[in-house]
Each structure stands twice: as C-alpha cells, then as structure tokens.
Amino acid sequence: MQKSCVITTKAPNWAPDPSDPCAWLRGTATLEGGRHSPQILRLDDAEAVGEQVAEWLLASRLADPNLPLGLATGRTMEPVYAALARQFAQRSAAERQRVRQQWCSFNLDEYVGLAPRDPRSFAATMASQLVTPLQLEAQSVLLPRGDGGDPDAEALRYASLLASKGGLGLQILGIGANGHVGFNEPPCGPEVVCRCVALTASTRDANAFAFGGDPDQVPDQAISLGLSEILNARRILLVATGRAKAEVLRRAFEESPTADLPASWLQGHPDVTVVADAAALGG
Ligand code: GLP
C-alpha cells in the first residue's frame, strides 16, 4: 500500500485536543457534545448477555447491512457467538441466506506473528466460533493479517480497507482488565488509529489461557484498530461479564476520560450501550 494513498482517519470533532486531555474536565466550549453516559442493560448472567447481544447482532445484519460490523474476541464473546449460532439456525432459510450474502465484519485485532490457521490466532477463533457455525464466506469476516511480516504496513492497509467501506456501523467491544478496548493499551488517547501495538505484561497474562497458560507464549505485539476507528462507529455495544470486570467498568464511565484508561474515551461517543451481567455491574 503506497503511504500516499492511505486514507487518514481523524478523531471525531468532539474529541479533546490530544495535547490537552484535560479539556474534558474543563468542559471547554470547543468540545461538541461533551461527555455522554451510556445506556446500561443489566442482565442476570453471561448467558443472558450473550443472547441479547446475539439478537442485536443478527438484527443489525438484517436491518442495516450497509455498514460493516465491528467484532471482538475473548472469553466474553464466546457466549455471544454461541447464542448467535443458535439464533441463526432458528431463522428461515431466506433470512439465513440474506445474512450470509450481506455479512461484512472487521475484527478489532490480531496477534503479530500468528498465521490465520494458527489455532491461537483470532482468525482461527473467529473461524470456529462464527464462520463455520453460520457458514459464512471466510472473506466476509475480516481481520488484520498477523503473519505478513510488516505489521505497520498491514495496519495501514486494514485501516484503509475499513475506511473504504465507510467505517463501522455497530461495534461490539469487550474490555480488558487494564481498561483496554481492542488492544489499545494504556496510555492512549482517542486519536490513535489502527497500528501495531506492544502488549502489556498484564494483557499477555490475561490472554495466556489461549496459549497453554504460559504468558511467555503470548505474542508481545498485535495489530489493533485504534480508538479513532472505534469512536467513529455509529453505535457501540460494550459487553462485560463477571466480577473481575466490575472495577474497570465502573472507572471507565464514572471517572473522567483519561489516556490511562482507554475505555473511558467511550464517554465521548453519543451512542454507547453497556450490556453487562449483575456481577460486572457490582451486583
Ligand atoms: C483481549 C482482546 C479484547 C478483549 C479483552 C478482554 O485483549 N483484544 O478485545 O475485550 O481481551 O477479553 P476477555 O473477554 O477474555 O476478558
């Protein structure tokens, strides 16, 4: 990809000046829209959360196929994709065919150094949890390529491809224990775009479950859509389950946005819904 033809993705115009992240605190007049509190849907457990998110995912594909879906991986998403497969199977043959024909999704991230067929890659995760159960065209479920050898060039390619599709419609997000979304590790501001990122030790620990429990086997880099692409999505569903996410979820929406908690920049988006179980909401 010639750098000259890269489409630059700018942060939304309500984002604070990255050189002055405290602009949020002062509520300066230059900020349009300011901070937003999310809609919060509290459900009993992870299974109920999975069913609800799957229902909205399927509805969005059928109702608004024009913009790509933004998808995530992780343990939080496993019940979502399992419910999606169940709900999809109950749809009519015509609806299933329409969903397949209209499917276009971009995953948030992929580990650097893993080929799509590596069972530990997010591409392999999506193949087993989504592509196969829904019998989707593999090329309609898009992720960065982790094995290309030039992650910076791949990040630019992926961002440009997303921009060429008009950006994200509905973005599904999980949240990391350190407040990351995608692999946007702290510290980072709302203006960061798709890029190759270094993974923190805590994130490698948290993701070691997919690498035989050994954090040293977790790649130390990933390609991730940035907060800029995420915040340009038309609508965001943040999905959180389990007591372990309660504190970071509370901080993300109760404290002032800060680079130290990347999920807190979601306060600047006008249409965020948190779908969480009672445990993640401190219940
Ligand atoms: C990884 C993924 C994120 C995900 C996070 C939480 O870092 N890149 O997209 O939200 O883990 O994962 P889990 O749902 O397993 O807690």
Mutate to test the pocket of ligand 1, among 207, 229, 238 (most ligand atoms within 8 A of CB): 207
pTM for the whole thing?
0.88
CA distance 28 to 19: 14
Any ligand 1 atom below 6 A from CB of 42: no
Any ligand 1 atom below 6 A from CB of 175: yes
Distance 275 CA to ligand 1 centre (A): 15
* Active site members: 109, 178, 180, 185
Neighbouring CB atoms inside 10 A of 137's CB total 11
**Which domains does the chain possess?**
35-277 (3.40.50.1360)
Max distance between CA atoms of the chain, in angstroms, equals 54
Burial of residue 164 (number of CB atoms within 10 Å: 0-12, 13-18, 19+): exposed
- What is the pLDDT tens value at each position of the chain, 283 positions in all? 332 222 223 322 323 344 543 332 222 222 345 688 888 999 999 999 999 999 999 998 888 788 999 999 999 999 999 999 999 999 999 999 999 999 999 999 999 999 999 999 999 999 999 999 999 999 999 999 999 999 999 999 999 999 999 999 999 999 999 999 999 999 999 999 999 999 999 999 999 999 999 999 999 999 999 999 999 999 999 999 999 999 999 999 999 999 999 999 999 999 999 999 999 998 8
Distance 63 CA to ligand 1 centre (A): 27
